[in-house]
C-alpha cells in the first residue's frame, strides 16, 4: 500500500511500533463495547499481522492511521472485503474503523474515511461501499451518516460471527453509499 495523506493523518500499513496500540484498541472495554470478545496480546499480534498482510497484498485494508504532527498511531480506518458476511454478495467492500478512545470525537475517522471512499471509488472503481455496525452503536452509525451513507433496513442482518450468548450484539444495521451518490455529494460540496 502506498501511504495516503489527509490534512492531519497518514494512512499506511502496520509497523512493528504499532503493536502496543493495536493490542490496546482490541482489548479496551470502551473500544470493544460492541464485540463479544477482547483480544489478548498474542491474538492482537496475530490479527495485526493478518491486517498487515492484507494491506500489503491488496493495497488496501484496515490500515493504520497515524497523526502527521506527532507520528502517533491512533487506530485503523480502511476498506475490507466482506467475505465473512454471507448475506452480502461476493465482492462487497466495507469501510470500517477502530480508534483508541482518546482520539474519539476529533473528526479523525470522518477525515480518513473520506480519503478511503475516494480511493475506493476512484482507484478501485467500486460501484458501492457499505458499512455495518451493531444496531445500537450510535457513534459508528453517526459517522456513516456524516459520510453520506444511507441505511438499508431491508439488508440489516444477524452477524454470523456473533455467538448466541451475546444476543444484543447479533443484529447489525447496514449502510450503503453508491459511487453515483458519492460523486453527487462531492459536486455539491464544491
3-class DSSP state of 7: coil
Q: Is the confidence at residue 19, as pLDDT, over 90?
A: yes
- Give 181's pLDDT tier (boundaries 50, 70, 90): very high
- Give 85's pLDDT tier (boundaries 50, 70, 90): confident
Prediction pTM value: 0.95
Q: Average of pLDDT values for 113-118? A: 98
CATH number at residue 40: 3.40.630.30
Which residues, 6 or more positions from 57, have their beta carbon under 8 angstroms from its beta carbon?
none
Span of 26-35, 48-57, 83-92, 124-133 with lowest mean pLDDT: 83-92
Cell of 44: 492482537
The 3-state secondary structure of 24-80, one letter per residue? HHHHCCCCCCCCCCCCCHHHHHHHHHHHHHHHHHHCCCEEEEEECCCCCEEEEEEEE
Instruction: Please state the domain count of the chain.
Output: 1
- Give 6's pLDDT tier (boundaries 50, 70, 90): very high
Which run of H or of E encompasses 141?
A: helix 138-146
Phi-psi region of 119 (alpha: psi -120 to 50; beta: other; left: phi over 0): alpha
Q: Look up the domain containing 71 and give its range.
A: 4-189
Amino acid at each position: 500500500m502506498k501511504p495516503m495523506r489527509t490534512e492531519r493523518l497518514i494512512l499506511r500499513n502496520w509497523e512493528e511500533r504499532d503493536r502496543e496500540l493495536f493490542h490496546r484498541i482490541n482489548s479496551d472495554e470502551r473500544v470493544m463495547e460492541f464485540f463479544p470478545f477482547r483480544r489478548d496480546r498474542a491474538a492482537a499480534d496475530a490479527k495485526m499481522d493478518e491486517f498487515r498482510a492484507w494491506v500489503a497484498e491488496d493495497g488496501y485494508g484496515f490500515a493504520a492511521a497515524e497523526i502527521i504532527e506527532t507520528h502517533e498511531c491512533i487506530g485503523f480506518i480502511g476498506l475490507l472485503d466482506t467475505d465473512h458476511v454471507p448475506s452480502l454478495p461476493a465482492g462487497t467492500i466495507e469501510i470500517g474503523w477502530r480508534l483508541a478512545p482518546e482520539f474519539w470525537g476529533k473528526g479523525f475517522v470522518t477525515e480518513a474515511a473520506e480519503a478511503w471512499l475516494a480511493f475506493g471509488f476512484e482507484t478501485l472503481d467500486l460501484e458501492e461501499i457499505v458499512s455495518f455496525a451493531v444496531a445500537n452503536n450510535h457513534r459508528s452509525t453517526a459517522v456513516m451518516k456524516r459520510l453520506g451513507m444511507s441505511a438499508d433496513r431491508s439488508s440489516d442482518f444477524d452477524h454470523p460471527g456473533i455467538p448466541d450468548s451475546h444476543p444484543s450484539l447479533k443484529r447489525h444495521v447496514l449502510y450503503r453509499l453508491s459511487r453515483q451518490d458519492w460523486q453527487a455529494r462531492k459536486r455539491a460540496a464544491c
